[in-house]
């Protein structure tokens, strides 16, 4: 195990004592921490206190103590009041506590805030035993309240400088000098009262704690002494396995005990915004000591303040959850109301005039019991913090290390949870208001994947330096996304990563599952949560859906050999992370510094599900693409419990938008928004490996991003033997392995040629195919027109044996010349396949990663930045962008062809009628795919026979050879004509311009160039159209 150097402070921190006096008064009293001193006389007792220069002096006498001053602590303006109404949450509330001791005593406590002080009333009840004569047995012993106060250190107590009446100082235990206050028995000790039918003996006491102590805790035990000698007989501590002095009762002053649910920081009152109590709840099963760390700024120009509150497990721990509630923004308190998340500035502190509160935790435990990964000098942010920010400034305690991030309370205190699904008014309401989604049914969906940092980081984006590579920068370029034809935006991981600006530009090693990345913020646009919310709202307002790629298998907190603790590792590594047989944390070898989460743990599953809920409800994300950097299915039953739990979750699961041919027909008729968009479920997709495609979908509701699509389409275009069968399967949505309720017809299959995290770009894939297939660059601009094809109709299919005509392919930087044709053919295949096409930002102009196919994206690298100058008019990139836009328009217009999951597809060879030889490894790589449109039938006059009308089918011809091929498409029926939708061998803009074509000969031959893809659509012939390709 790694040796951890522990450092324990022997002197109290200045941070604590600077908060012990009121801001409006300059009192001449010092609050002290009792030092472990040897016994001495009452007159010579010494105290540890704070001197006038702000430094701790080791010892001073009681007389010197009364002349010592402390620095005043600013507090929230207003007077403290006692809440008389149970619904009043803007003032401090009276609190009641009940404890049971090991000696079967019951202790009832009432804490009342009374302006400048807190009154603590304590009642102790004891069972009365009776002898055989029926007389009560009353012991003459005296009870005392043995108590002290703590804030930063649970093991070190403080005492009031002015002891309560009848109290005395006790130094029986040098480690914990305390105050002993007598508990006065009712009726001079002989009174017995009945309560709920039980005879009890009561003892009571009261004392006040000045308000400038708060927040603080009064720790106590009950001491029984001999009434004659005053000798201590016994201590009475909380019921449980641990004994005094390792355990004591606690009375929160200026705070509350809190609740174990929900985990994280949340409002402890029904008020959504404004002052109130915040409940902090943290799961840590192995920590023995937990300290809440707070740093805040009042926005008045002063340096930020810090405070630490050590949690007594007797009152602040329920099971494995530590909890406490603090007043925020309440008059008389020390914590101000933080500003709204929309006004937060990067590095905001007092000089910016913006109040802010950040929080974290310090954990400690026994190294022999697994606590060696804790460190009391490290501040960990809450794993469920919804917004992260750098510290506001330096800490007063030099032994506390500055963390990279702390959690922020801006969203918690100002209604961040109000931005829920209520923002989405629902499809029917939005349709009535004129709002229209670009995606009506799954078959119309086109996904555009982008990286927040790379999309606008290049100088060619023409954005200001503050907006480049930010959330706001993406929103500024939304018009380009829509012009591409996309209906959905897929955001690459935006969860916070500690190494984002170093070696984790893609986000494969996040440190939080809840908080968005602060590195993508603009300095003046609010915190990260607000800016992400604004981005998603802006995309929704333009009709775009938003999917988000998430990493649920690991966090970037280093390894045991090289730790990099930020949150979970320093809080509860045993409950959340996967351990190997030697007890060390398991790491992901493919992602440096990534620690694998234990997805078999209920605590981890709950963290993951709650994080997805958070992104769904608080940000409005429409779906998730789960990245599989590590195996997520570790159970013997081969059924991932996490995936099942997510799919069956009432918030994440449920009905999604309907699919199928009937939905496509209804879309064309304008009824889709009323009937087929009523689902409120979240779309969920996986990214399995090639061997796992089709085997992960054990539960309804999960889709897949097919990793076989790139492999099999590439092999066909390269001319690899025996690849035509797999090619046809991918074009049909992999229906042989992904079928049923999770098929492509319902939108559960995503097709893509790129792997944005580590793979090549589309241009790199095309370049590799061109190199392997030996595609010849073109030097002449030539292509058969319809007239020339008609003149050659007598030749027919004999063109199969001829050589390919040269094609004009102008250079397209940064990709080689010959990749232009392959790129267009790949894009056409992508859009003409069943399943959802996914294009990556940069594919629309041929962006190349220059062979960097196995490294994580560095931060805002020049090679990864989107080149906006490459899509300007007149460039080759603009031609490809227009080509993709034309295919997107065709895909949306003919969504009925892609709503059957491949059931409407008929495959033939280029002769138009012979079935392909799927099992023949020497079969030519030329296929013709006819997609049958939904049939229309008319009934004859007088109820006669039903006549079938021609359907507007689409024929796609794939030529994966190096030879010119003549495909016998067939002549159109009467009243119809063939429209050329795409021919990738033509030059822009002819390649994607709709144009009527005449086919040669009675068999309707069309010449297909090498490595080209042609799409022909059967459409009604225009008025006066004569099909000269028909026989006389």
Per-residue pLDDT, 433 = 52
| Of 105, 223, 107, nearest in space to 173 by CA | 223
Q: What's residue 858's pLDDT? A: 66
Higher local confidence (pLDDT), 317 or 740: 317
DSSP symbol at 189: G
Higher-confidence position of 843 and 675: 843
pLDDT at 198 over 50: yes
**Rounded Cα gap, residues 836 and 442, in angstroms:** 7
Task: Decide if pLDDT at 346 tops 80.
Answer: no
Please write the tens of the pLDDT for every residue from 489-508: 999 999 999 888 888 888 88
Q: What are the two backbone dihedrals, phi and then psi, of residue 828, each rounded to the nearest 5 degrees?
A: -65, -45
Q: Strand pairing of 926-931 and 905-908?
A: antiparallel
In 3D space, the residue among 698, 704, 662 whose CA is nearest the CA of residue 683 turns out to be: 704
Q: What is the pLDDT of residue 648?
A: 85
- Pairing assessment for the beta strands 545-551 and 623-627 based on DSSP bridges: parallel
Distance separating alpha carbons of residues 345 and 341, to the nearest angstrom: 9
**What percentage of residues in the chain have a pLDDT greater than 90?**
38
Separation CA 28–CA 26 (nearest Å): 7
Lowest mean pLDDT among 283-292, 378-387, 569-578, 805-814: 805-814
3-state secondary structure of 952: coil
- More confident of the two residues 1012 and 133: 1012
Q: How confident is the model at residue 162 (pLDDT cuts 50, 70, 90)?
A: confident
Question: For residue 533, is pLDDT > 60?
Answer: yes
pLDDT at 807 over 60: no
387: left (phi over 0), alpha (psi -120 to 50) or beta: beta
| Contact indicator for 86, 98 with CB cutoff of 8 Å | no
Q: How far apart are CA 991 and CA 238, in angstroms?
A: 82
Structure tokens at 203: 């003892």
Q: What is the number of other CB atoms lying within 10 angstroms of the CB of residue 473?
A: 22
DSSP secondary structure letter of residue 650: T
Highest mean pLDDT among 25-34, 193-202, 270-279, 309-318: 309-318
**Token code pair at residue 237:** 């501590």
User: What distance in Å separates the CA atoms of residue 52 and residue 33, rounded to the nearest whole number?
Assistant: 16
Task: Say what the pLDDT of residue 748 is.
Answer: 85
Q: Region 880-894: what's the mean pLDDT? A: 94
| Whether the predicted pLDDT of 84 surpasses 60 | no
Q: How many residues does the chain have?
A: 1032
Mean per-residue pLDDT of the chain: 78
Q: 194, 200 in Cβ contact below 8 A?
A: yes
Q: Is pLDDT of 31 > 50?
A: no
Question: Is residue 413 within 8 Å of 402, Cβ to Cβ?
Answer: no
319 class by beta-carbon count within 10 Å (0-12 exposed, 13-18 middle, 19+ buried): exposed
What is the reported pLDDT for 6? Answer: 36
- Does pLDDT of 223 surpass 80? yes
Is a pLDDT exceeding 70 seen at residue 47?
A: no
Q: What is the DSSP string of 888-921?
A: HHHHHHTGGGGSSTTTTEEEE-TTSSSPP-TT-T
Average pLDDT in the 318-341 region?
Answer: 90
Count CA atoms closer than 13 A to 171's CA, side-chain side: 14
> Which range among 208-212, 678-682, 876-880 shows the weakest confidence by mean pLDDT?
678-682
């Amino acid at each position: 195990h790694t040796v951890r150097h522990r450092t324990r402070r022997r002197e109290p921190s200045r941070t604590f004592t600077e908060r012990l006096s009121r801001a409006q008064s300059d009192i001449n009293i010092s609050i002290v921490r009792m030092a472990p001193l040897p016994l001495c006389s009452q007159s010579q007792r010494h105290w540890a206190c704070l001197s006038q220069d702000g430094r701790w002096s080791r010892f001073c006498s009681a007389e010197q103590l009364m002349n010592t001053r402390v620095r005043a602590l600013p507090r929230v303006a207003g007077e403290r009041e006692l809440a008389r109404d149970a619904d009043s949450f803007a003032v401090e509330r009276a609190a009641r506590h009940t404890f049971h001791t090991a000696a079967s005593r019951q202790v009832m406590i009432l804490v009342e805030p009374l302006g400048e002080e807190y009154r603590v009333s304590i009642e102790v009840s004891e069972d009365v035993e009776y002898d055989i004569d029926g007389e009560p047995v009353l012991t003459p012993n005296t009870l005392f309240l043995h108590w002290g106060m703590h804030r930063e250190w649970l093991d070190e107590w403080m005492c009031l400088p002015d002891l309560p009446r009848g109290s005395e100082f006790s130094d029986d235990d040098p480690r914990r000098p305390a105050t002993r206050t007598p508990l006065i028995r009712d009726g001079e000790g002989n009174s017995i009262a009945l309560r709920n039918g039980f005879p009890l003996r009561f003892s009571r006491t009261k004392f006040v704690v000045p308000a400038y102590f708060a927040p603080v805790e009064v720790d106590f035990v009950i001491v029984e002494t001999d009434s004659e000698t005053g000798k201590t007989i016994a201590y009475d501590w909380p019921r449980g396995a641990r004994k005094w002095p390792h355990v004591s009762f606690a009375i929160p002053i200026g705070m509350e005990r809190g609740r174990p649910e929900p985990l994280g920081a949340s409002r402890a009152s029904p008020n959504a915004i404004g002052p109130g109590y915040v409940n902090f709840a943290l799961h840590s099963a192995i920590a023995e000591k937990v300290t809440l760390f707070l740093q805040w700024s009042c926005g008045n120009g002063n340096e930020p303040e810090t405070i630490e509150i050590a949690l007594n497990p007797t009152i602040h721990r329920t099971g494995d959850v530590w909890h406490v509630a603090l007043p925020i923004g309440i008059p008389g308190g020390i914590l101000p109301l933080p500003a709204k998340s929309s006004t937060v500035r990067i590095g905001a502190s007092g000089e910016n005039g913006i109040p802010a509160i950040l929080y974290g935790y310090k954990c400690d435990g026994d190294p022999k019991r697994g606590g060696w990964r804790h460190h009391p000098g490290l501040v960990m942010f809450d794993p469920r913090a919804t917004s992260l920010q750098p510290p506001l400034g330096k800490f007063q305690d030099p032994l506390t290390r500055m963390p990279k991030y702390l959690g922020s309370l801006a969203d918690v205190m100002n209604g961040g949870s109000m931005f829920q699904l209520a923002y989405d008014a629902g499809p029917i309401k939005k349709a009535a208001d004129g709002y229209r989604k670009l995606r009506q049914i799954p078959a119309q969906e086109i996904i555009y994947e982008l990286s927040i940092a790379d999309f606008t980081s290049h100088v060619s984006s023409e954005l200001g330096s503050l907006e480049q590579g930010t959330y706001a920068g993406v929103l500024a370029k939304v018009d380009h996304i829509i012009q591409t034809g996309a209906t959905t935006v897929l955001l690459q991981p935006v969860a916070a990563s500690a190494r984002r600006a170093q070696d984790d530009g893609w986000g494969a090693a996040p440190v939080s599952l809840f908080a968005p990345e602060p590195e993508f913020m603009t300095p003046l646009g609010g915190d990260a949560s607000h800016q992400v919310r604004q981005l998603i709202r802006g995309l929704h307002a333009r009709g775009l859906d938003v999917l988000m790629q998430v990493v649920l298998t690991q966090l970037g907190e280093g390894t045991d050999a090289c730790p990099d603790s930020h949150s979970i590792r320093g809080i509860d590594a045993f409950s959340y992370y996967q351990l190997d047989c030697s007890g060390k944390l398991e790491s992901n070898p493919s992602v440096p510094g990534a620690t694998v989460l234990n997805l078999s743990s209920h605590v981890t599953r709950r963290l993951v599900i709650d994080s997805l809920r958070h992104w769904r409800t608080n940000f409005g994300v429409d779906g998730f693409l789960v990245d599989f950097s590590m195996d997520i299915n570790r159970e013997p039953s081969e059924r991932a419990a996490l995936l099942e739990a997510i799919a069956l979750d009432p918030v994440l699961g449920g009905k999604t938008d309907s699919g199928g041919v009937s939905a496509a027909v209804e879309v064309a008729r304008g009824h889709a928004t009323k009937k087929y968009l009523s689902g409120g479920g979240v779309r969920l997709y996986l990214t399995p490996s090639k061997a796992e495609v089709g085997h992960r979908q054990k539960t309804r509701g999960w889709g897949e991003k097919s990793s076989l699509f790139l492999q099999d389409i590439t092999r066909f275009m390269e001319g690899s033997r025996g690849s035509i069968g797999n090619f046809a399967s991918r074009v049909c949505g992999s229906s042989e392995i992904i079928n049923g309720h999770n098929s492509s017809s319902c939108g559960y299959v995503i097709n893509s040629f790129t792997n944005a995290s580590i793979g090549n770009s589309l241009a790199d894939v095309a370049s590799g195919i061109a190199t392997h297939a030996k595609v010849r660059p073109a030097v002449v601009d030539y292509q058969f027109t319809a007239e020339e094809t008609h003149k050659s109709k007598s030749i027919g299919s004999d063109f199969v044996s001829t050589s390919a005509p040269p094609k004009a392919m102008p250079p397209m930087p940064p990709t080689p010349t010959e990749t232009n044709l392959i790129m267009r053919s790949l894009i056409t295949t992508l859009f003409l396949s069943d399943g959802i096409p996914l294009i990556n930002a940069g594919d629309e102009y041929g962006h190349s990663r220059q062979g960097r196919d196995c490294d994580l994206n560095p931060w805002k690298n020049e090679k990864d930045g989107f080149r906006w100058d490459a899509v300007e008019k007149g460039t080759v990139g603009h031609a490809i962008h227009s080509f993709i836009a034309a295919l997107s328009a065709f895909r949306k217009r003919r969504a009925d062809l892609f709503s059957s999951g491949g059931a409407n597809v008929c495959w033939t060879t280029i002769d138009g009628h012979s079935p392909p030889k799927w099992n023949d490894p020497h079969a030519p790589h030329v296929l013709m795919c006819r997609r049958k449109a939904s049939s229309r039938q008319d009934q004859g006059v007088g109820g006669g026979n039903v006549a079938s009308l021609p359907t507007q089918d689409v024929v796609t011809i794939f030529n994966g050879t190096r030879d010119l091929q003549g495909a016998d498409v067939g002549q159109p029926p009467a009243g119809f004509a063939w429209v050329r939708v795409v021919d990738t061998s033509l030059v822009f803009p002819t390649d994607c311009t709709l144009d009527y074509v005449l086919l040669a000969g009675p068999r309707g031959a069309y010449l297909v160039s090498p490595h080209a893809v042609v799409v022909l659509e059967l459409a009604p012939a225009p008025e006066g159209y004569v099909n000269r390709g028909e026989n006389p």
